[in-house]
Structure 1
């Protein structure tokens, strides 16, 4: 007597290689991503025509519409002190300081800040703006 062959089970899908690929991609994107801290206060940069910088350098100086200053974790007058220490540490190979000022800052306030930045050891300032 002939018995029919039992139905064959399909082999189980191999999910382990797919999981490995997903974790490798996750690790790649975590390593490749540039994580930046939050801004100390909201800034709306002024509008300007021209090219947009590709990447922000590490030390960005913030100037709020109300005159509030920030550099790293330091705020207001302490921000200028920390900036001066950083500039003394990197002198004479310091790059231009990126100034991220609010669009509501008056020209007079910005002009008053520039001599104080020069006293802190800043030779060149790049004002960050947004394209029109």
Structure 2
């Protein structure tokens, strides 16, 4: 009687496809849930304040940056063109929503070394553009 040779043992290899699917699903989840903010157009060191009250985030928030020399930055625009870009962004927001009921919010990121006269001049220009309220961003004073 002839006994057949036993078949070589089959190696059991794990299927990696489910693990790859889970990794990609986690990657997609973290990319979607992450809050991505655009980079600041200018490097600004905000002035210090005694208390740092929390500022609620709002949809359609506009951010204007001013460095120590008075150079303006809004999104990709620099210098005097930043005010024009800000005016266009405000007009676009007012076209979408009623600006009399909910005026656009402007956050001003001004450097602590900025001259007060330059800041006052800028606030006058922003008021003429229709910004009734401008939030000056500060940082909490360190003891």
TM-score normalised by length of structure 1: 0.81
The equivalent of 2:29 in structure 1 is 28
Contact 1:99 1:126 (C-alpha < 8 Å) held by counterparts: yes
TM-score by length of 2: 0.76
Pairing partner for 2:128 from 106, 112, 119: 119
Deviation string 1:11-36 (CA, Å, 9 cap, x unpaired) is 21221111111100111122222333
Unaligned runs of 5+ in 1: none
Deviating beyond 3 angstroms after TM superposition, the runs of 4 or more aligned structure 1 residues are: 1-10, 52-58
1:44 aligns with 2:53: no
Q: Matches of 2:140 and 2:7 in 1, distance apart?
A: 71
Query: Partner residue of 1:110?
Result: 119
Q: CA offsets per residue over residues 37-65 of structure 1, 9 Å max, x none?
A: 32222111112222243647642101110
Write the distance in 2 (CA, Å) between the matches of 1:6 and 1:60.
Answer: 72
Encode CA deviations 1:61-112: one digit per residue, 9 max, x unaligned: 0111000011122222222222223323313332320111112113232122
Unmatched runs of 5 consecutive residues or more in structure 2: none
Aligned to 1:62: 65
Q: Could you say if the C-alpha distance between residues 47 and 5 of structure 1 is closer, same or farther in structure 2, counting changes exceeding 3 Å?
A: farther
Q: CA RMSD in A?
A: 2.5
Residue 86 of structure 1 corresponds to which residue in structure 2?
89
Structure 2 CA distance, aligned partners of 1:88 and 1:16?
Answer: 50
